[in-house]
Amino acid sequence: MTRLKEIIKSQSFRRTLLTGALFIVGFLVFAFVSVEAWEFTNSTWFCANVCHVVHPEEPTAYQDSYHARVKCVECHMGRKSTLETIALKSTHAKHLFTTPLGLYERPTRAETQRPASESCELCHWPPAFHGDRVQEIKTFQPDEENTETRTYVILKTGGGERAKGLGVGIHWHIENPVEYIATDDLKQDIRWIRATLPDGRQVEYNDVTNPLSAADIAKAEKRTMDCMDCHNRVGHPFYSPDQLVDQVLAEGQLNPNLPYAKKEMMTLLTASYPDQDAAKAAVASMEARYKADYPEVAATYAADIQQAVKLANDLIYQLIFANPGTTWESFPDNGQHQEFPGCFRCHDGKHLSSNGESIRLQCNICHSIPETVSGDARPPQMPVATLQEPASHLETNFIADHRFQASDECTPCHGEVQFGSDNSSFCANSACHGRAWPSVELDAAFPHPITLEGKHATTLCHNCHEGVKKPEYVCANCHEPPSSSHFGQNCVDCHTPAGWKESAAAFTAKAPQIPHPLEGRDDCLLCHDPDGDLVAAPANHKGFTVQLCASCHKPRP
């Protein structure tokens, strides 16, 4: 005991004790600083203002997203253990040099996006079933009244466990493995797909307009589809000018009663600018244009026009970015299929299996048939349950085929078949028709025997097909031949799809063989009327009958 007291009183012990205490305090301070530094470098502020100040629009878009409360690292590195995250972050060490020196690509891309199983699915659990969701979409026309149109659609979110039969709808792609080969970094050009169906069969689809060879498929990198293949902009959404203007009009930020509000905003936001400063400088021109073009409107709606200018100043930064040449179009949104191919990267009618079946393109796989109303019309009555469809509607090529299958047999379910895009009937749906879908190729599985140009481009398919997929290609199937005698039996010798009069003019240019000049009047329409019949012989043909024309006027061989 005495010896112990002597040791405790000794200076060496006290020095050792002090050293130990200082070491522990130092370690605790170091640990505290390290943890705080680690947390700081994982913070959204650090990512936005230190790492990604090179692309300031990304953090701004992030604040407007559904994931504004989710830290950047939770998506870009996943929710992993600290040691795993440290290892992942060490791979970003190159940015310590490239960022200060400006040696980074523009626009910035996420090089190390973690798979959905390490990020999205830790919050959004795939086996959970997701119910359908009704969505109202308000759009406005660029006319004086900013005419409002409301489109209603039921999104079939689907999901659930395949074993329970719930692998349906949009999330069918997650319940059933889908592999694909993309030939570009942004995964916009998908050339090959392999789907594993619920019964275990595997079906491969190749882009018949630009197919990959067996050797190309064997050596190419194959990615298994997950959440981010469609929801690639959920963290940083960049909307089109049309979407942004419709949004501020629908929310009342821009007065929909301001005449030409949509038109003027679109004129400003869709113009081409060399850089962001030039775009900002152009914003002030809106007020001047109103005063010059619509002086009465400018006087009546002065406050609303000033509000429009303020909104445009905010919106322009979401469309034209700090890096010259970078805009919202630099960031494809795969969750839709209007401004970008999105769903149509695969569901485009031109990815065919070995037996000629396409990937299903039916609109109602992922959502109900959109229904559109205008003005004060009541929302449409829409079925809340999926109805049993005829077997023909389930065929893989149905969307391509339904163009000529339409007949009176459709009326019990869809009403009278009246084609168009004025929303007057089921078949005149402006959400489907009357618009261009450039990413879709409906004739890839069934190439048309003639070029659909001229009058053939405007006629309705079922007028010629009459419910037959491949009718005999004979002009007389659709065109009634003239009752009078005619030149030859082969229509295409004289006529083209451009139209009757246009064909006549083109044929005249070939100078038909005749035994004597026609005094400069060699127009086919001199003897033929627009309906295709022969007319009475001209005055200088006295004594000739219409039946004798062919004895002198012969088509060039």
User: Tell me: the pLDDT tens digits for 182-218?
Assistant: 999 889 999 999 999 888 899 999 999 999 999 999 9
pLDDT at residue 557, as a whole number: 46
The residue out of 88, 115, 142 marking a domain boundary is 115
- Residue 87 domain-assigned (yes or no): yes
Burial of 536 (0-12, 13-18, 19+ CB in 10 A): exposed
Question: What is the domain count for the chain?
Answer: 3
pLDDT at residue 475, as a whole number: 78
pLDDT at residue 521, as a whole number: 42
pTM over 0.85: no
- Residue 503 domain-assigned (yes or no): yes
Residues contacting 189, CB < 8 A, separation 6+: 182, 183, 345
- Residue 261 domain-assigned (yes or no): yes
The residue out of 53, 80, 115 marking a domain boundary is 115
Nearest residue to 346 via CA among 212, 206, 156 = 206
For residues 320 and 329, what is the distance between their CA atoms, to the nearest angstrom? 9
- Residue 95 domain-assigned (yes or no): yes
Nearest residue to 114 via CA among 239, 238, 237, 235 = 235
- Residue 418 domain-assigned (yes or no): no
Residues contacting 385, CB < 8 A, separation 6+: none
Q: Would the CA dihedral through 183, 186, 192, 193 be positive or negative?
A: positive
DSSP label at residue 198? T
Nearest residue to 132 via CA among 386, 399, 459, 414 = 386
Q: What is the pLDDT along the chain (557 residues), one digit of tens a residue?
A: 666 566 556 667 667 777 888 888 888 998 899 888 888 888 888 887 776 666 778 888 888 888 888 888 888 888 888 888 888 888 777 777 777 777 777 776 776 678 888 888 888 887 777 778 889 999 999 999 999 999 999 998 887 766 666 677 888 888 889 999 999 988 999 999 999 988 889 999 999 999 999 999 999 999 999 988 999 888 889 999 999 999 999 999 999 999 999 999 999 999 999 988 899 889 988 899 999 999 999 999 999 999 999 999 999 988 988 888 888 998 999 988 888 999 999 999 999 999 888 999 988 888 988 988 888 888 888 877 777 888 888 888 888 888 878 778 888 888 887 777 888 888 888 888 878 888 898 888 777 777 777 778 777 777 777 777 777 777 777 777 666 555 566 777 677 777 766 666 666 555 445 544 444 444 555 565 555 555 666 666 665 655 556 556 655 44
User: Tell me: the pLDDT tens digits for 17-29?
Assistant: 778 888 888 889 9
Angle between helix 241-250 and 261-269 (nearest 10): 150
For residues 517 and 497, what is the distance between their CA atoms, to the nearest angstrom? 29
Burial of 4 (0-12, 13-18, 19+ CB in 10 A): exposed
For residue 50, give the H/E element and its range. Answer: none
- Residue 414 domain-assigned (yes or no): no
pLDDT at residue 144, as a whole number: 94
- Residue 461 domain-assigned (yes or no): no
- Mark out the alpha helices in 329-425 (DSSP H runs): 398-405, 411-414
- Mark out the alpha helices in 104-252 (DSSP H runs): 172-175, 214-219, 241-250
User: Tell me: the pLDDT tens digits for 428-456?
Assistant: 888 888 788 888 988 887 777 777 777 78
Full residue range of the structural domain in which residue 89 is found: 42-115
Longest Cα–Cα distance in the chain? 154
The residue out of 115, 145, 175 marking a domain boundary is 115
- Residue 56 domain-assigned (yes or no): yes
